[in-house]
Amino acid sequence: QVQLVDSGGGLVQAGGSLRLSCAASGRTFSRYGMGWFRQAPGKEREFVAAINWSGGSTAYAASVKGRFTISRDNAKDTVYLQMNSLKPEDTAAYYCAAHTSNFMRPDYWGRGTQVTVSS
């Protein structure tokens, strides 16, 4: 089992920045690839970004590429999502996730942190 606690959400104006964090506990963090997903009201959960176990490979949704950066610190068992140039359409609950093989099919989820971007 892996427990994930995501944090760092809040209210920010359009054009602003936020950094989300996800602290992991339980099994060895470095065994897992990590990712972020988001879900806006009335919409399905969607992929945002993913990073492999070493941090050497990343993937992003087209809608956030160039604005968001995913990173991880295996010494701290933490993954981050730096979000810049935020837009109102980025408003959603953001969820941290851990996967063993397919970043689109996580094995574990955080509880989510709310990001609201005002125009």
Cα distance between residue 77 and residue 102, in whole Å: 20
Cα→Cα distances 29→1, 41, 42, 93, 118, Å: 11, 31, 32, 23, 34
Reading the block at residue 113, the tokens are 């942190």
Q: Each residue of 57-108: pLDDT tens digit?
A: 999 999 999 999 999 999 999 999 999 999 999 999 999 999 998 999 999 9
Q: Each residue of 5-41: pLDDT tens digit?
A: 999 999 999 999 999 999 999 878 888 999 999 999 9
Reading the block at residue 15, the tokens are 């054009």
Checking phi first, is residue 112 left (phi over 0); if not, alpha (psi -120 to 50) or beta?
Answer: left
